[in-house]
Amino acid sequence: MDRLLARDERQPPPVAMASLGFLEKTSMITEQGRTFPESSEDSCWYALHTMSNCEAKVAVYLRAFDIETFLPDYPSRRQWNDRIKMIRRPLFPGYLFSRLPKKPPSQALGAPGLAYIVGFAGIPLPIPEQEIDSVRRVVDSGLNVCGCPMLKTGERVRMRSGPLKGLEGRLERIKSQFRLVISVELLSRSIATEVGWESIEVLSQKLPPFR
């Protein structure tokens, strides 16, 4: 919920967050054009992008080839007509992680529901194992956890929900709170309101500080 520099007394329990940094798309690796980066390791972690709601399906398929997978999720309440049900949702919707060998089986890379391996310029990029371990540690901690966008101070953002829905401004952070800064350029003045990360949509690259 959006807040105007006033703290809501009904605060939700602390939320643990973990970031895997920037992920850029690459086309799906095929049997004819398979290219993996050079590495001294026998296997590395990669991010796999899946079709909608296919994360678990792809994970099960890969495990049949003895390929290790990691699909971090969290419990979420879902409202049905006559009841509320707890379900598991992926922390990174549309993604799961897999430790792939240097020469993975061609059948494994043809998993139904698998769109592509995340990388750059057509080459899959491995994810540092410490990042995977950090996410796993948070998931296994028992703390309340959910996914969130990777936000940076200075980015231009738009509110996607709440009373300020559609409003655009610059993102700032003071201590642990995010603030949406609205500026009147002609007057060189700004106002700010506290916002939750879950209601923020990033619009552009980082902007220079307002003067």
Q: Tens digits of per-residue pLDDT, 40-98?
A: 678 899 999 999 999 999 999 999 999 999 999 888 877 777 778 888 888 888 999 99
- Burial class of residue 146 in the structure, from the number of CB atoms within 10 Å of its CB (0-12 exposed, 13-18 middle, 19+ buried): middle
The pTM of this model reads 0.64
Whether 97 and 71 have beta carbons less than 8 Å apart is answered as: yes
The pLDDT value given to residue 174: 66
Residue 133's nearest CA partner among 88, 70, 75 is 70
